[in-house]
């Protein structure tokens, strides 16, 4: 059985909707991270399975984003651009403790992830 990466997006949405949690920041940060990885792994899977690319672990996030941004198909370019924005949110959520993550940033991240996955599904 293969893992369905979009389940991470469902988990992210469930995290946001939870009312009992240690802190809002932990909830928002975890949701953003899961949303990013849902979209990222769906994009990576397209490159590996549909485009038959071999992807190494070195700079994998940048590589996947660049493959989409530099593709002649405008839909793929939009996927790459959205994934880059979402990666920025994820990096802040995972690494920048001095930044306060807002509910709006969290919702925007979930929306971006949904749009990325929807666009990928239409390829």
Q: What is the pLDDT of residues 51-78, one digit of tens each?
A: 999 998 889 999 999 999 999 999 999 9
pLDDT at 20: 63
The CATH number of 7-121 is 1.20.120.330
- Mean pLDDT rounded to a whole number for the chain: 92
Dihedral, CA atoms, 6, 10, 16, 21, nearest 10 degrees?
-110
Give me the mean pLDDT over the 1-17 stretch: 83
Question: What are the residue boundaries of the structural domains of the chain, listed by start?
Answer: 7-121
Band of residue 43 on the pLDDT scale cut at 50, 70, 90: very high
Could you report the per-residue pLDDT of 75-107, keeping only the tens digit for each? Answer: 999 999 999 999 999 999 999 999 999 999 999
> In this structure, how many other beta carbons lie within 10 angstroms of the beta carbon of residue 75?
13
- Do the Cβ atoms of 57 and 104 come closer than 8 Å? no
């Amino acid at each position: 059985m293969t893992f369905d990466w979009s389940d991470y997006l469902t988990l992210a949405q469930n995290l946001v909707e939870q009312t009992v949690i240690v802190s809002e920041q932990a909830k928002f940060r975890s949701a953003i991270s899961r949303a990013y990885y849902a979209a990222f792994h769906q994009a990576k899977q397209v490159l590996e399975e549909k485009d038959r690319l071999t992807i190494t672990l070195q700079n994998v996030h940048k590589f996947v984003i660049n493959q989409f941004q530099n593709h002649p198909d405008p839909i793929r370019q939009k996927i790459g651009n959205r994934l880059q924005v979402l990666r920025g949110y994820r990096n802040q959520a995972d690494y920048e403790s001095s930044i306060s993550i807002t509910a709006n940033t969290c919702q925007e991240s979930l929306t971006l992830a949904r749009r990325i996955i929807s666009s990928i599904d239409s390829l």
